[in-house]
C-alpha cells in the first residue's frame, strides 16, 4: 500500500497526538512516526516508522501509546507495530541511514536559545578544517538560520550537484548548506511538522556532501521536530552540547544531553560558553555567569567536559561581518582546543596532535 492510501483514523490520531516522544517536546504524530492508525472490530492497529531508540525508550513509548489508546471508547485491543531500524548495511528507505562518504556526523545542540550554539558550530567547523580535515556545516536552525550571516553568505544559493543533488556552497574551506538557503531566514518560523522533516531529510540525504571527515549540524535550541527528525534520519556519531554556566541554561543542557541518551546517541561532551570575561581595559578575568558549573555537571551526567570559551565582545562584531572567532578574535585558541578534543574523540587525528 502506498503512503497516500494508508488509513489514519481521526480519533486514533488525536489520541496518538497526546504521546510525546520520551525526552522530546514533539509528539509522535508531529514527528511523522505514525504511518497508519485504524480500528478494525474493536482492535486498534497502529503502524509506525522504524524507531531508533534504546529498549527502555521503546517500552515507555509502547506504554504511553497503549495508555492513550486504551482510554478510547470502543477499542478493546491494540496491535502496535513499531519496527526496529534497519541494520546499517541493509539500505532501506525508512529509518536512520548513514550519509555515504561522510565519516562523522556531529550535531551541535543546546537546550536553551542564544547560548552560542551557532558560534560553536561555525568555529568548530573552521578549526577542524584548519587541521586539514574535510568538513561540512549544515545549518538546521530553522528558527534563526544564522550560519549564512556568520560566514558572509547572505543571498548565496546552492547549485545543482551530481545526480540532481543539492551542491553545498563552498566557503572558507567548508561545504555549507543552510535551511536559510532554501526558505529565506524571514520565513523560517512558519515551518511545521512534515515540512520540517522533509527539509531535514533533503539537506542530509539529497545533498552532494562528497567525501567528508565531519559534518557539523547546527541544530535549533531545544528538543523539537528538527532534532527528532535528525535522530531518525541518520546515525549520529557524537553530539556537542553547548551551554552557558547560568542555572537556567544548565537545566536545559541536562535536557539536551538526555535527549541524545534517549535515542542511543553518543554525546562527545559539553562546552561552557561565555564562561569568563577578560576585561580589555584592565586585563582582569571576570566570571560573570558563575564560571565553573559545567564541568561538575558533565561529570554528574557522565559525559566529557570539552572546555570553556570566554565571553569575547569581538565575537558578535566579527560574526556580523561574516568573520569567525577562530579566524581573528583573541579567544581563537580556546575554540581550537575544543576542536582538537573533538577531532581526537572522533578518531580523525592522532592522540598526539
Q: Which residues bind ligand ATP (CB under 6 A)?
A: 110, 113-119, 141, 144, 146, 221, 273-274, 309, 311-312, 315-316, 319
Residue 96 or residue 245: which is nearer to ligand ATP going by CB?
245
CB of 244 vs ligand ATP, minimal distance in Å? 9
CB of 232 vs ligand ATP, minimal distance in Å? 21
Q: Is the separation of the CB atoms in 316 and 278 below 8 Å?
A: no
Residue 344 CA neighbour count, 13 Å, CB half: 13
CB of 323 vs ligand ATP, minimal distance in Å? 11
Please give the helix or strand (H or E) that residue 81 lies within, else none: strand 77-81
Residue nearest to ligand ATP (CB): 113
Binding-site residues, in ranges, read 111-118
DSSP character at residue 8: B
Residue 16 or residue 24: which is nearer to ligand ATP going by CB?
24
Q: Is the separation of the CB atoms in 339 and 348 below 8 Å?
A: no
Residue 212 or residue 332: which is nearer to ligand ATP going by CB?
332
Which single residue is written with the C-alpha cell 580523525?
348
CB of 165 vs ligand ATP, minimal distance in Å? 27
Q: Is the separation of the CB atoms in 106 and 342 below 8 Å?
A: yes
CB of 156 vs ligand ATP, minimal distance in Å? 18
Binding-site residues for ATP, in ranges, read 111-118
Residue 96 or residue 116: which is nearer to ligand ATP going by CB?
116
In three-state secondary structure terms, 215 is strand
Residues 41-76, buried b or exposed e (16+ Cβ, 10 A)?
A: eeebbbbbbbbbbeeebeebbbebbeebbeebeebe
Amino acid at each position: 500500500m502506498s503512503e497516500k492510501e494508508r488509513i489514519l483514523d481521526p480519533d486514533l490520531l488525536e489520541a496518538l497526538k497526546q504521546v510525546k516522544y520520551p525526552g522530546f517536546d514533539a509528539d509522535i504524530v508531529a514527528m511523522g512516526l505514525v504511518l497508519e492508525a485504524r480500528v478494525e472490530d474493536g482492535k486498534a492497529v497502529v503502524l509506525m516508522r522504524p524507531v531508533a531508540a534504546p529498549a527502555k525508550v521503546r517500552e515507555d513509548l509502547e506504554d504511553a501509546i497503549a495508555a492513550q489508546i486504551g482510554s478510547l471508547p470502543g477499542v478493546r485491543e491494540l496491535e502496535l507495530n513499531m519496527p526496529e531500524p534497519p541494520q546499517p548495511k541493509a539500505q532501506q528507505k525508512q529509518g536512520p541511514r548513514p550519509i555515504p562518504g561522510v565519516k562523522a556526523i556531529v550535531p551541535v545542540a543546546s537546550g536553551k536559545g542564544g547560548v552560542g550554539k551557532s558560534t560553536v558550530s561555525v568555529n568548530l567547523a573552521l578549526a577542524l578544517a584548519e587541521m586539514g580535515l574535510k568538513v561540512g556545516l549544515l545549518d538546521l536552525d530553522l528558527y534563526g538560520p544564522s550560519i549564512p550571516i556568520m560566514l558572509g553568505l547572505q543571498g548565496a544559493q546552492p547549485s545543482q550537484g551530481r545526480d540532481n543533488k543539492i551542491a553545498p556552497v563552498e566557503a572558507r574551506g567548508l561545504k555549507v548548506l543552510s535551511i536559510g538557503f532554501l526558505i529565506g531566514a524571514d520565513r523560517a518560523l512558519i515551518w511545521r511538522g512534515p515540512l520540517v522533516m522533509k527539509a531535514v531529510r533533503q539537506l542530509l540525504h539529497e545533498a552532494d556532501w562528497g567525501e567528508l571527515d565531519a559534518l557539523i549540524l547546527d541544530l535549533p535550541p531545544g528538543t523539537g521536530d528538527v532534532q527528532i527528525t535528525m535522530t531518525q534520519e541518520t546515525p549520529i556519531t557524537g553530539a556537542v552540547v553547548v551551554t552557558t554556566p547560568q542555572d537556567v541554561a544548565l537545566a536545559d543542557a541536562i535536557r539536551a544531553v538526555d535527549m541524545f541518551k534517549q535515542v542511543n546517541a553518543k554525546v562527545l561532551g559539553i562546552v561552557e560558553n561565555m564562561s569568563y570575561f577578560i576585561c580589555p581595559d584592565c586585563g582582569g578575568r571576570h566570571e560573570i555567569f558563575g564560571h565553573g558549573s559545567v564541568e561538575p555537571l558533565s561529570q554528574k551526567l557522565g559525559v566529557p567536559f570539552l572546555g570553556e570559551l570566554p565571553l569575547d565582545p569581538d565575537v558578535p562584531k566579527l560574526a556580523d561581518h561574516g568573520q569567525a572567532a577562530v579566524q581573528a578574535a583573541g579567544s581563537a585558541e580556546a575554540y581550537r582546543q575544543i576542536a582538537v578534543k573533538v577531532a581526537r574523540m572522533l578518531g580523525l587525528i592522532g592522540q598526539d596532535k
